[in-house]
């Protein structure tokens, strides 16, 4: 008999591997604002992500320690408390959403996009317009004093006429 078997949440792993997988998914979600994974993994990671953000809204020492126990990264833990959790102060829940994507080509697994509902807005700088190019042959303007390059003598024709350059300043004497 199959009493109290929760087969959906096993993900084909034992308990420590499953916990590490879910914690890494949540770390990636908080770092990149969205992740693409299988539907079952997204559902498992959503539970922990909601718990971590709820702890981030409390901002107590105990909450910080519990979040760090999940994420194992000081920088990411402070990001949760300083940047991610304040975005969700007015929300009671529903910090993440799962969007269904196509099936994976190799094994047919249902893919999903797990993302935060209120993403960080990143403003990109406008692209600069092209400036006039200097004419060909014109040297670019620099603020450094220009040095004169030493003139090189053109090579003399013939083998024995250039052999003197080969033996010049060789031997240190």
Architecture of the CATH domain 15-116:
Alpha-Beta Complex (3.90)
pLDDT tens digit sequence for 100-148:
999 999 999 999 999 999 877 767 788 777 776 667 666 666 666 667 7
Instruction: Report the distance separating Cα 23 and Cα 152, nearest Å.
Output: 66
pLDDT tens digit sequence for 50-86:
999 999 999 999 999 999 999 999 999 999 999 999 9
């Amino acid at each position: 008999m199959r009493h109290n078997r929760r087969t959906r949440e096993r993900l084909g792993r034992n308990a420590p591997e499953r916990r590490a997988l879910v914690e890494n998914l949540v770390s990636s979600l908080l770092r990149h604002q969205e992740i693409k994974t299988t539907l079952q993994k997204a559902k498992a990671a959503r539970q922990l992500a909601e718990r971590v953000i709820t702890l981030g809204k409390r901002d107590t020492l105990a909450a910080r320690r519990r979040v760090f126990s999940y994420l194992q990264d000081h920088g990411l833990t402070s990001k949760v408390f300083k940047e991610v959790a304040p975005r969700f102060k007015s929300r009671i829940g529903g910090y993440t959403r799962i969007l269904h994507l196509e099936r994976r080509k190799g094994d047919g697994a249902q893919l999903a996009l797990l993302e935060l509902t209120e993403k960080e807005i990143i403003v990109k700088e406008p692209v600069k317009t092209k400036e006039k190019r200097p004419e060909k042959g014109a040297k670019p303007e620099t603020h450094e004093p220009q040095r004169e390059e030493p003139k090189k003598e053109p090579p003399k024709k013939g083998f024995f006429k250039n052999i003197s350059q080969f033996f010049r300043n060789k031997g240190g004497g």
